[in-house]
Structure 1
Amino acid sequence: MNDSSVDSSEKNPGSEKLNLSTKLAYGAGDLGPAITANISIFFLLVFFTNVAGIPPGFAGSILMIGKIWDAVNDPFIGYLTDKTQSRRWGRRLPWLIYGAVPFGVFFFLQWIVPKFTNDPNTNVWGLFWYYVAIAIISQVFYTVVNLPYTAMTPELTQDYDERTSLNSFRFAFSIGGSIFSLILARIIFTTISDRQQQYVILAAVCSIISVLALYWCVFGTQKRVLAFEAKRSQAEVSAEIPIMEQLKIVFSNRPFLFVIGIYLCSWLGVQITASTIPYFVVNCMLLKDSDVPTVMIGVQGTALLMLFVWSALSKSVGKKIVYFMGMFMWIIAASGLYFLKPGQIVLMYVLAVMAGFGVSVAYLVPWSMMPDVIELDQLQTGQRREGIFYGFMVLLQKFGLAFGLFVVGLALQSSGFKEATAGSGVLPIQPESALQAIRIAVGPIPVISLIFGLVLTYFYPITREMHAEILLKLQERQSGK
């Protein structure tokens, strides 16, 4: 795209379409958080039990503590990003600049297995507290880079359909990065026999890619972000609202409550399934560790291909219909996984592809709804508070996920799941009760969560027509000043 079009979009950031370079740079900002989050979702629980030798109840507790702390710091950091002042970088970008390197370092540190003592029982407690400390610190820096990034969406464009397109680029990088990391995992798992070394190398490569991608996002979106900041600073003259009053307004925004509910239900299904799949593939389907990334690539590859299909389809039929179509296919797939038997490998991959249709919608639709909610709040209050809305959306989502992951770990331990001995490299044979718990976690539990999400989506109140009316009223207000 030529320079004149770029300049035009910068002068009027609310109404103009985004150029390709800006969309690519914005999408790159989700590459690092997505790679690290997906590697953690898919492998961290199994790493704790099968490499570090931590009992599944303890492993689930580590994940829960990390998620709860991550949730607690989200609104605080969101509020701070709304108040950040920088002529050179705006409100959001300074957080990405200074948080990128620590984010990569602490992600890497959670994949090493330090030895504190020769006594296995005592060493387990040392590992437990080490991983708790790393989880807390790493989640802080994850929030520092990811929350300001997600809050940039409504600042880059106010066009209803363009936001869906922008999120398509974002999640293309997100899912594409996940697929790349899974291909990388398969290569590493196939060529390196030592399980601990496998994860160390995987984490190191993913950390480096994550940091570089965040800086691409910063420098690629800087001009567009600053153009919006200049316009916002001129238009926003309303009196400051105290933080407690802001919280009251956030939770009185009815569409916002629907969005966080839809997002929670969708991602509870995603994360519980993703954390359980490695156990399902190895213990229930009797395949190898190196087959786990291949199954996940089937899901994520389909999700990537469908992103732009769903994005285009949503322009004609709307976000709700797209969400229903994807979720119905995922529910069928999750139900089928519960009944799979060893040897039904082809059917397993068919169900993985079907699940990918729904996972793609879970990425796309809830995040496309959030900017609409923010503009409704702007109409009601006269202020744009992306940070606090995104912060509380992620806070409530992570509380739910923390509880879900804790329950999965506790259920595995209660069912008699046997963790590996650290450094042994040998996986124990699991009892039938543990296999049944794995099947329930990969099938019925996600189905229930997805059904609740469908109910909430049906009653979500903001349509394309209502959003157009909101924007019209905002424009009238600004032109009248």
Structure 2
Amino acid sequence: QRLKLSVCNKICYAIGGAPYQITGCALGFFLQLYLLDVAQLDPFYASIILFVGRAWDAVTDPTVGFLVSRSPWTRIGRMLPWILISTPLAVLSYFLIWYVPPFETGKVIWYIFFYCLFQSLQTCFHVPYSALTMFLSSEQAERDSATAYRMTVEVLGTVLGTAIQGQIVGMANAPCLPGPGEIVQKRSNAKHFVAPSQKAAYMIASGVICLIYILCAGVLFCGVKEQKGETLYLLNGFKSTTDTQTPHAFFQGIRLVMGHGPYAKLVVVFLFTSLGFMLLEGNFALFCSSTLGFRNDFQNILLVIMLSATLAIPFWQWFLTRFGKKTAVYVGSCSVVPFLIMVVCIKSNLYVTYVVSFVAGIGVASAFLLPWSMLPDVLDDFKVQNPESTGHEALFYSFYVFFTKFASGVSLGVSTLSLDFAGYISRGCSQPKEVDLTLKLLVSAAPIAFMLIGLAILYSYPIDEKRRQYNNKMLQEMRDSEADSESETTEISNMI
């Protein structure tokens, strides 16, 4: 008996991936702006919050992955209980991130606590959700199809997160404060004033996202049935690995994974390219509103980038199958460089910025798709070289996520700290020249430098199309050999 998935099952599973992308986009694009201009925090403290939150998020991924792999089977499955229990707590903590507490002392602790708490609970949702793919069906084609549905919904989730947060917040822009050359008294009187409508807008946006989070989790829980791992292995004609092998110790698994050369190189490559794109993501809203002067339009510019990236995903999928994945990384990353230079060199013009943002979004799409497309190749290469070593799939993915999230924490922390040194003025109608220069470096020169370093390391990445096809051939032979062995064993048992 084969476990087939209906289209409804696949859609329900895919919808479960939306909360991670929606909340991630809202936090990535808007949290820095919110902490500086609405919560009225000093840039130094904002940098601490952003770094600690992202670093904590990075640590929780492998930790939760390890705990999930050790969790017992229940009546509703092994993964679904994690999703069910974490959802209401994650929603509450996310909402409180966007609430400005009525006190000044302890405000930094408030944001660090709820930001870290949300990241932990979000990880308790997303790691089991990602692993749930392997417990949907006994057929690889069915799991691949469900993953394709999931990727489509996740890309749409990035657009939805940007649209909800940006459009609601954009309707309540607070008046800016006089710049350094204007009346100082006015600025000091208004320094700690934030329009109630602006605070309310952030809370309304977070409330809408919380509602979507709950609905998506509910659809996932009601529409997906988790199949027990042993059942899937037996239906495929294989013995369960849990029956035949003792799991490797956690740190032994880490040594095996990180000691695999192609994986280490790929992680370093995407560590640098991700640093570039994360610097761009974390500072672009501030750059548009402060340096370019588009305080009332920055949310629309961000939406254009994400819409463009969404539309470009099919193009990059075609490109990597036609020309190879390494070539796609080179072309995708390099295609962004001219437009990052243009956006800081050309005189501020809204229409030019829209065009540049749309074209840059095409390159951003490659950064979204290609890492997840290349990681399975590294896994296949590892299996070919280590046929007796199994059960490390979660470690490959969780440590890639760990390094990229840690890098994003460093990038956001350092960039916000740089604004503090440059003399950033919260909600200033104009900023000191040092701030404008810093923002230009953070959205142009620094991302370009990190991308070029990553591409230079990619040159030595050993898995090309020829090696990838060889690995696929070897894995197929290994599967056929194991299936024949199991069939012979079954025949002998029946004869006896």
Aligned to 1:172: 152
**Superposition TM-score, scaled by structure 1 size:** 0.86
Aligned to 2:179: none
Aligned to 2:366: 361
Q: Kindly indicate whether residue 206 of structure 2 is the aligned counterpart of residue 199 of structure 1.
A: no
Q: Which SS does the other structure have where 2:225 is aligned?
A: helix
473, 477, 483: which one pairs with 1:469? 473
Distance 1:133 1:321, change over 3 A: same
Aligned to 2:218: 215
Aligned residues of 1:78 and 1:390 also touching (Cα < 8 A): no
Aligned residues of 1:168 and 1:308 also touching (Cα < 8 A): no
Aligned to 1:131: 111
Distance 1:325 1:414, change over 3 A: same
Distance 1:134 1:474, change over 3 A: farther
Instruction: Give the superposition deviation at 1:473.
Output: 4.3
2: CA distance between counterparts of 1:261 and 1:441? Answer: 21
Q: Kindly indicate whether residue 414 of structure 2 is the aligned counterpart of residue 407 of structure 1.
A: yes
Opposite residue 150 of structure 2, the aligned amino acid is R
Structure 1 stretches of 5 or more lacking a match?
1-6, 12-17, 117-122, 421-426
| 1:256-305 superposed Cα distances (whole Å, 9 cap, x missing partner) | 223322332333223211221111111111112x4122111111101111
Instruction: Give the superposition deviation at 1:247.
Output: 1.2
- Greater shift after overlay, 451-460 or 394-403? 451-460
Aligned residues of 1:148 and 1:387 also touching (Cα < 8 A): no
2: CA distance between counterparts of 1:322 and 1:174? Answer: 21
Distance 1:278 1:312, change over 3 A: same
297, 301, 320: which one pairs with 1:295? 301
Q: Kindly indicate whether residue 253 of structure 2 is the aligned counterpart of residue 246 of structure 1.
A: yes
1: CA distance between counterparts of 2:319 and 2:139? Answer: 17
Q: Which has more radius of gyration?
A: 2
374, 382, 387: which one pairs with 2:389? 382
Distance 1:66 1:158, change over 3 A: farther
2: CA distance between counterparts of 1:388 and 1:358? Answer: 28
Instruction: Give the superposition deviation at 1:352.
Output: 0.8
Q: Kindly indicate whether residue 163 of structure 2 is the aligned counterpart of residue 183 of structure 1.
A: yes
Instruction: Give the superposition deviation at 1:418.
Output: 1.4
Instruction: Give the superposition deviation at 1:306.
Output: 1.2
2: CA distance between counterparts of 1:351 and 1:402? Answer: 27
2: CA distance between counterparts of 1:447 and 1:166? Answer: 35
| 1:439-478 superposed Cα distances (whole Å, 9 cap, x missing partner) | 1101111112222332344433334303413422440453
The alignment-based identity, stated in percent, is: 25
Opposite residue 60 of structure 1, the aligned amino acid is S
Aligned to 2:336: 330
2: CA distance between counterparts of 1:349 and 1:145? Answer: 35
Q: Tell me the number of residue pairs that the alignment of Structure 1 and Structure 2 aligns.
A: 453
Q: Kindly indicate whether residue 357 of structure 2 is the aligned counterpart of residue 352 of structure 1.
A: yes
- Greater shift after overlay, 388-397 or 355-364? 388-397
Aligned to 2:492: none
- Greater shift after overlay, 161-170 or 387-396? 161-170
2: CA distance between counterparts of 1:30 and 1:132? Answer: 25
| 1:153-172 superposed Cα distances (whole Å, 9 cap, x missing partner) | 56668999998876554343
Q: Kindly indicate whether residue 307 of structure 2 is the aligned counterpart of residue 306 of structure 1.
A: no
Q: Kindly indicate whether residue 79 of structure 2 is the aligned counterpart of residue 92 of structure 1.
A: yes
Aligned to 1:46: 33
Opposite residue 38 of structure 1, the aligned amino acid is C
Distance 1:69 1:190, change over 3 A: closer
Instruction: Give the superposition deviation at 1:357.
Output: 1.2
Q: Which SS does the other structure have where 1:54 is aligned?
A: coil
| 1:187-209 superposed Cα distances (whole Å, 9 cap, x missing partner) | 42354452111110001111111
Distance 1:229 1:292, change over 3 A: farther
Structure 2 stretches of 5 or more lacking a match?
174-196, 487-496
Aligned to 1:433: 434
2: CA distance between counterparts of 1:446 and 1:225? Answer: 44
Aligned to 2:50: 63
Opposite residue 249 of structure 2, the aligned amino acid is P
2: CA distance between counterparts of 1:309 and 1:39? Answer: 26
Distance 1:302 1:311, change over 3 A: same
Distance 1:278 1:240, change over 3 A: closer
Opposite residue 70 of structure 1, the aligned amino acid is D
1: CA distance between counterparts of 2:219 and 2:357? Answer: 32
Instruction: Give the superposition deviation at 1:129.
Output: 0.9
Aligned residues of 2:43 and 2:424 also touching (Cα < 8 A): yes
Instruction: Give the superposition deviation at 1:94.
Output: 2.8
322, 327, 352: which one pairs with 1:321? 327
- Greater shift after overlay, 377-386 or 208-217? 377-386
Aligned residues of 2:170 and 2:299 also touching (Cα < 8 A): no
Instruction: Give the superposition deviation at 1:88.
Output: 4.5
Aligned to 1:37: 24
Aligned to 2:193: none
Aligned residues of 1:147 and 1:390 also touching (Cα < 8 A): no
Instruction: Give the superposition deviation at 1:246.
Output: 1.0
Opposite residue 365 of structure 1, the aligned amino acid is L
1: CA distance between counterparts of 2:228 and 2:366? Answer: 27
Q: Kindly indicate whether residue 287 of structure 2 is the aligned counterpart of residue 280 of structure 1.
A: yes
| 1:347-390 superposed Cα distances (whole Å, 9 cap, x missing partner) | 21122112211211111111122233334444524322332222
- Aligned-pair RMSD on alpha carbons? 2.8
Q: Kindly indicate whether residue 64 of structure 2 is the aligned counterpart of residue 77 of structure 1.
A: yes
Opposite residue 198 of structure 1, the aligned amino acid is A
Instruction: Give the superposition deviation at 1:254.
Output: 2.0
